[in-house]
Amino acid sequence: MTMPQNPLGGTHVLNGARGFFRLAEGLRWRLALGVGLASAAALASFGLLVLSGWLLAGAAVAGLGGQAAARAFNIMLPATGVRFFALVRILARYLERVVAHDGALRLGGRLRGWVYARLAPLAPAGLTSMQGGDLLGRFVSDTDRVAAYYTDVALPFCRALLCSVVFVGVFACVLLSAALALAVGLLLGGVLVPLVVGPAMDRLVRLAAEKQSYVQVELAQTLQNMGEYLLWDGARSRTRHWHAQQAVVDGARWKLDALESAARGLIGMITFVTVLGVLVLAASACQAGQLHVAEIPMLVLGVLAAFDVAVPLPMARQAGAEARFALTRLETSSAPAPAPAPVAVVGEAHKPHAPYDLEVQGISFAYPNTITPVFQNASLTIRQGEHVALVGPSGIGKSSLINLLFGFYAPHSGCICFGGVDVSTLRAEDMAAFISVATQDFHLFAGTLRDNLLLAAPQATDQELADVLEAAQLTKFIQSLPQGLQTWVGNDGLRLSGGQARRVAVAQALLRGTPWLVLDEPTEGLDAPLEQALMAALVRRGTRTTILCMTHRQAVLPFMHRVVRVEDACFRPGGGSDMKN
């Protein structure tokens, strides 16, 4: 994603049509050209039909008028006109597709960049309320719908407006009363019908979209946890639940289709009545000698051609409702959440400086929507180079310190300073330059083991990889794999055991070579000899590295310089009775 291409910047709100217009900055000529080409195609269709009507009727009248009349009738001019309009129509349609769809794709790209730029800073705290399936749905289908606003909504309406003015103007040159009848017909079909069906469409679009998103979230969750559902024998009831939800979506979609078809039918009836009206007006004008008889079919065919631009408008109205709803969801889903700490762009003056000591000064913190504080006036100092074990019962707040340290959440009071700088003035990526973390919920991306390791340090050499794998006690395991580090893991790849995955996370953290290492339960799930070997290697490797190790394991403590216990929402010196052997 290249931010400079995004005219909205990272945090702007699109704010409806105006924001959309700003999103199109630099593309406006391309988009206007698309509208121009679409209008040219519609005008060429109109010209083709009108001229054909005139040509056929003129030829028939000339034929009936005998030899002299037939000789006087110049067929070349209208025939050339017909060919000209046919050619223009083909070319304009082709170019319109190329230009308009290219514009829509570019808009879609910008929109995705905008959504990503707004969502990324919220992770992870600001995204906890959003489910993966919903987030993906918004990212994919909502952005598609909003980007299609141009081709599916703006373009048909602009074309209808531009062309209607020309159609009525052409009719006015031939017969004023027919022009008035056409204008009234187009107003009824192109404005009144979309206006009438609009509110019902809005309601149904909202219902279908909300239910669809719910079904999507449920689907993602069900697929992710299918194993559990099968174990509980709940798969069948999930399927039934789903069918019921999907039926609501299908019902709303069916009603939308029915509404759109009815609107089209109504426009068809208005077309028919307008044709009749123009026919009657043209016939009486012909009787009064104001109109040549050959011009009557020309006007009738002209009405039919003119209504071609009104027929897609109900569909465009529906697409407009979908785009507006999608835009609202995009704006609300990516609106900055209150939870993350305010961040200032780090400058030289703000960079942490050696010694990289951590000073937690009287912090109080509770997660949003919870009442029990995780920390209350808690203080802790860790000097650079210390190896500290952070212990305490499960759920007491050990991992929460990582969230606060990286600014994913902000303490309600007190402050956390790292290297002399308040971490609330730093971004998570600035902290990451100094601290490597091996978390408990480490995620393996789909790729080879090597790819996963290199995510942490793309420039790492083979020797560096071998060293960290040795320290993480993974060398034997890697050697046992036929493809070694090239073994595919993640989606559809090798499933690592909990202990193996944790050690890959440790290896990743070691690879970055930062002055600080935070390890969340690194030895969980390991047998005693492996645990001892891992801790010994970590300490040996990290004599100058500060290590903060969250652990439940008694065996880890002898490797640390000191032990800090989280108790009563505070940090206290010493181990505890809840430690595992």
Q: Which parts of this chain interact with ligand ATP (CB under 6 A)?
A: 128, 367, 370, 374, 392, 394-400
Best CA proximity match to 445, nearest among 511, 519, 510, 505: 505
Considering the complex, what minimum distance in angstroms separates the CB of residue 443 from ligand ATP?
16
* CB-nearer residue toward ligand ATP: 367 or 477: 367
CB of 399 to ligand ATP, least distance (A): 3
Which is it for the CA torsion 38, 39, 43, 46, positive or negative?
positive
Question: Is residue 250 within 8 Å of residue 208, measured between CB atoms?
Answer: no
Provide the minimum distance between the beta carbon of 340 and ligand ATP in the complex, in angstroms, as a whole number: 12
Rank residues 325 and 375 by Cβ distance to ligand ATP and give the closer one: 375
Token pair in block for residue 452 = 């996963």
Give yes or no for a cis peptide into 558 (omega within 30° of 0). Answer: no
- Sheet holding 546-550: strands in order across? 435-438, 516-520, 546-550, 387-391, 562-567, 570-573
Which residue, 394 or 461, has its beta carbon nearer to ligand ATP?
Answer: 394
Annotate 153-171 with b (16+ C-beta within 10 A) or e (fewer).
bbbbbbbbebbbeebbebb
Distances, alpha carbon 178 to alpha carbons 174, 234, 443, 462, in Å: 8, 67, 70, 82
Minimum distance of ligand ATP from residue 520's CB (angstroms): 7
In the complex with ligand ATP, the residue whose CB is nearer, 78 or 392, is 392
Do 163 and 306 touch, CB atoms closer than 8 A?
yes
Indicate the SS3 state at residue 377: strand
Up-side HSE of residue 507: CA atoms within 13 Å toward CB? 29
Counting beta carbons within 10 angstroms of the beta carbon of residue 503, is it exposed (0 to 12), middle (13 to 18) or buried (19 or more)? buried
Least separation in angstroms between residue 253's CB and ligand ATP is 36
Q: What are phi and psi of 113, to 5 degrees?
A: -60, -40
- Of residues 316 and 548, the one with the C-beta less far from ligand ATP: 548
Least Å distance, CB 424 to ligand ATP, is 18
In whole angstroms, give the CA distance from residue 319 to residue 104. 14
Q: Please say which residue, 266 or 555, places its beta carbon nearer to ligand ATP.
A: 555
Q: Across the chain, which distance is largest between two alpha carbons, in Å?
A: 118
Q: At closest approach, how far in Å is the CB of 124 from ligand ATP? A: 8
- Per DSSP, which regions of 270-428 are E strands? 358-365, 375-382, 387-391, 413-418, 421-422
Nearer Cβ to ligand ATP, position 67 or 394?
Answer: 394
Nearer to ligand ATP, 372 or 475 (CB): 372
CA dist 278 and 177 (Å) reads 8
CB of 433 to ligand ATP, least distance (A): 24
Residue type, 563: V
- Smallest gap from Cβ 368 to ligand ATP, in A, equals 7
Least distance from ligand ATP to the Cβ atom of residue 416, Å: 15
The total number of residues shown for the chain amounts to 581
**Geometric angle at alpha carbon 124, from 118 and 128, rounded to 5°:** 95
Cβ closest to ligand ATP, residue 270 vs residue 401: 401
Choose between 201 and 396: whose C-beta lies nearer to ligand ATP.
Answer: 396
Kindly give the pairing relationship between strand 516-520 and strand 546-550.
parallel
Q: Write the DSSP assignment of 119-157 as a string of letters.
A: HGGGTTGGGTTS-HHHHHHIIIIIHHHHHTIIIIIIHHH
| CA separation for the pair 278, 271 (Å, rounded) | 10
- Closer to ligand ATP by CB, 394 or 491: give it: 394
Nearer to ligand ATP, 242 or 367 (CB): 367
**Nearer of residues 129 and 497 to ligand ATP, judged by Cβ:** 129
Q: How far is the CB of 521 from ligand ATP (least distance, A)?
A: 7
Q: DSSP string of 464-526?
A: HHHHHHHHTT-HHHHHHSTTGGG-EESTTSBPPPHHHHHHHHHHHHHHT--SEEEEESTTTT-
